[in-house]
Amino acid sequence: MKTRHLIFPLLAAAAITFAPSCKDDDESKGLPVPSKTQTGDNGGGQIIEPDENGETATLSATVAPGTIGTDGLSKNDNYASYAGWSQRDSWNLANVHDPSVAYYNGYYYMYGTDASYGNEHAKAPHGKHFQGKRSKDLVNWGWVGGPFDKAPDWMLDSINSFRAKMGLEGTLTYDDIKDQLGYWAPVVRVVDGKLRMYYSIVCDNCIKTGSKTFDGSWNIWAFIGMCETTDPENDVWYDKGFVTCSSSDKGIDGWARASTTDWNAYCFYNAIDPTYIVTPEGEHWLIHGSWHSGFTSLQLDPTTGKPLKAVGNPWADNAEDLQARFGKRIATRGTSRWQASEAPEVIYKDGKYYLFMAWDGLDIPYNTRVVRSENIQGPYFTSRGANFTNGEGDDKVYPIVTHPYKFKDGVGWVGISHCCVFEGEGDLKGQWFYMSQGRAPKNVWGNAYSNALMMGHVRKLVWCPATATDLTDLWPISLPERFANVAQTPIKKSEIAGKYELINMGYKKGEQIEADADYLVLTADGKMSGPFNGTWEFDEATKFLKLTSSDGKFEGSTNKLGSVIVCVERERDWEKNVESTLVFAGFHYQHTNTFWGKKVASAE
């Protein structure tokens, strides 16, 4: 685990410390990012004694769920003025980080990491950890409490048990660790009529002595546990206990760390950022990992939700023995033990598993990539055919699903990743959605700490052909504008002609990709000019817009691509506050760029 101690002022100009982080890379040191740990438990909620099945419920009904408003489309993205805990009914999608969404009892329930502007979430008297929101339409949201007021007892018991087996002195108490805990990145799914959550809790104390300050050892393990509810509205959750934890291939005593700049991590797998999937064959899998040696796939018992085989002690003498217990590695960004990828999210569609992941540090550079496989355990391939399971293709992992960007109006967004991907329900059935946080850029809106403002972004996913010669080879790309549930009347060819802002979205680490200075102009006679020159065609049935370059090339490409297919949809223009316009997204597998565009005027 990487440790960061980053400072940023609270709204009242006080300061807090951003303690444990596995999430940011070494280039983000010193940036004003929000805390991902709560700063003390401030008491606890009502705890129900374990029932006959050994389950413990945390009851947090003393804080009523928030009101779901009707003004989600008019909310100001600069929410600093209404970020306070007492104003949570006005948050809508403000203060969202690492979201996961599941549809349960008529609502989309979303839960995420403990993070908020000014750490206002820590003021919750109950249900403070893994707080969430709920919505009926993915546009208007109301606050709901989380499952926990404090870390479950089994976590501290596990830490002390592991340290004792290592022959290390001292028994840690809850007071020793409570201010060093991070409550991160849960995943929620509906299983057997219940809402189930796999949650991550990390501890920043050191293994050797349990110290809060560096003692020559790596940090204590991160843990994944499981809880369930049939009453998320009132925050009544039953904790099911330990599922897995961070694990090492360096043996029982390989935890020494030369310095805090030593990234040769003790743990091979990092037990945060879980995702959960049930295959068409009925197999249950937990996939997780972040900033270590890659993502692991751990098969679960369909009945208990726990590992099908006991994982045992979190160490082994080599990677092969470790993977036999803690899961097969299915993806890795090269050979480093400190690689900048995390937050796996896996979905199944049309015979293939799509693995989405976050790329680079979370504050500015965060962007989203996707690979796919015909098998849940891989191998996973990029659109260019590189074997990502074997660590190939760090420079070939395309398409880019999201990236920091800016249209001509507004300040744009950065840090757009750590996503969940889900299919809509009801009127939205058959549509796929991407949800993540988006951060404001640094030093905008007259706020030196604007990058700590985190807004939940729901975006529609479109399935785009990788090449104009095979319209069945589809890959997911996020639309450039956030979802607003606008009316989806059929798009006619006659509507396509017009002037478009174009974002030619190549990979630029830590930079916002800005819209081209020149507009992309599509005229009614099928001609194209601006950044690209050539012709266009539109298929009303598929909503595929074919852009053909006169010289076969597109800006940023060295290969002659000929044509690129982009998918056209109706969506809100958030920058211009226009209720509905045409937007598009697409890519070509031989190009590193994703193409985003939105129509801003009719053709002259």
DSSP secondary structure of 72-133: GGG--S-GGGG-SGGGGGG-TTBS--S-EEEEETTEEEEE--S--GGGGGGG-SSS-BT-EE
What's phi and psi for 233, nearest 5 deg? Answer: -60, -40
Residue 173's CB is within 10 A of a number of other CB atoms, namely 11
Residue 74 pLDDT: 83
**DSSP-derived 3-state class of residue 380:** coil
Distance CA 506, CA 146 (A): 38
- Count Cα atoms within 13 angstroms, Cβ side, for 486: 23
Block means of pLDDT (10 residues each) for the chain, 604 residues, are 31 30 37 29 29 46 71 88 94 97 98 96 92 97 95 97 96 96 97 98 96 96 97 94 97 96 95 98 97 96 96 97 97 92 97 97 95 98 95 90 97 98 95 98 96 97 95 97 96 97 93 95 96 95 95 69 93 96 94 93 84
Q: Taking Cα atoms as reference points, which of 11, 7, 30, 36 lies closest to residue 97? A: 36
- Asked if residues 50 and 369 have their Cβ atoms less than 8 Å apart, the reply is no
- Asked if residues 238 and 215 have their Cβ atoms less than 8 Å apart, the reply is no
Residue 568 pLDDT: 98
Using alpha carbons, list the distances in angstroms from residue 47 to 60, 178, 236, 238.
9, 18, 10, 10
Residue 554 pLDDT: 78
Q: In what order do the strands lie in the sheet with 295-300?
A: 275-278, 284-288, 295-300, 328-331
- Type of residue numbered 29: K
**DSSP-derived 3-state class of residue 322:** helix
Residue 558 pLDDT: 61
DSSP class of residue 440?
Answer: P
Produce one character per residue of 12-42: b if its CB has 16 or more CB atoms within 10 Å, e if not.
Answer: eeeebebbbbbbbbeebeebbbbbbbbeebe
pTM of the shown model: 0.91
Distance CA 385, CA 388 (A): 9
DSSP class of residue 232?
Answer: G
Q: What is the pLDDT of residues 204-240, one digit of tens each?
A: 999 999 999 999 999 999 999 999 999 999 999 999 9
Strands (E), 377-533: 400-402, 405-406, 414-423, 432-439, 454-467, 470-478, 498-505, 513-514, 520-522, 527-529
Q: Which residue has the tokens 């879980």?
A: 274
Q: Taking Cα atoms as reference points, which of 155, 585, 604, 148 lies closest to residue 405? A: 585
Q: Taking Cα atoms as reference points, which of 566, 555, 479, 565 lies closest to residue 517? A: 555
Distance CA 268, CA 378 (A): 19
Distance CA 206, CA 88 (A): 35
- Asked if residues 164 and 170 have their Cβ atoms less than 8 Å apart, the reply is no
Using alpha carbons, list the distances in angstroms from residue 24 to 247, 335, 432, 469.
20, 19, 28, 40
Residue 25 pLDDT: 40
DSSP class of residue 413?
Answer: B
Q: Taking Cα atoms as reference points, which of 369, 370, 226, 202 lies closest to residue 286? A: 226
Distance CA 178, CA 180 (A): 5
Q: Taking Cα atoms as reference points, which of 81, 140, 82, 78 lies closest to residue 412? A: 78
Question: What domains are there in the chain, each with its CATH number?
Answer: 461-482+491-601 (2.40.128.10)
Tokens found for residue 268 = 């091979």
Residue 561 pLDDT: 73
What's phi and psi for 346, nearest 5 deg? Answer: -120, 130
Rounded to the nearest angstrom, the gap between the alpha carbon of residue 102 and the centroid of all alpha carbons in its chain is 14
Distance CA 456, CA 420 (A): 11
Say what the alpha-carbon torsion angle 399, 405, 407, 412 is, to the nearest 10 degrees.
140
Distance CA 189, CA 228 (A): 10
Q: What is the DSSP string of 339-355?
A: -SEEEEEEEEETTEEEE
Distance CA 57, CA 76 (A): 37
- Asked if residues 502 and 530 have their Cβ atoms less than 8 Å apart, the reply is yes
Residues 6+ apart with CB under 8 A from 41: 128, 149, 150, 178
Looking at the DSSP bridge assignments, the partners of residue 547 are 536, 564
Distance CA 225, CA 52 (A): 20
Q: Taking Cα atoms as reference points, which of 155, 151, 135 lies closest to residue 143? A: 135
Q: Which residue has the tokens 């939105």?
A: 598
Residue 55 pLDDT: 52
- Asked if residues 117 and 91 have their Cβ atoms less than 8 Å apart, the reply is no
Distance CA 140, CA 133 (A): 10
- Count Cα atoms within 13 angstroms, Cβ side, for 352: 16
- Asked if residues 363 and 333 have their Cβ atoms less than 8 Å apart, the reply is no
Start-to-end Cα distance in the chain: 56
Residues 6+ apart with CB under 8 A from 308: 299, 300, 301
Residue 243 pLDDT: 98
Residue 154's CB is within 10 A of a number of other CB atoms, namely 16
Residue 201 pLDDT: 98
Residues 6+ apart with CB under 8 A from 123: 42, 85
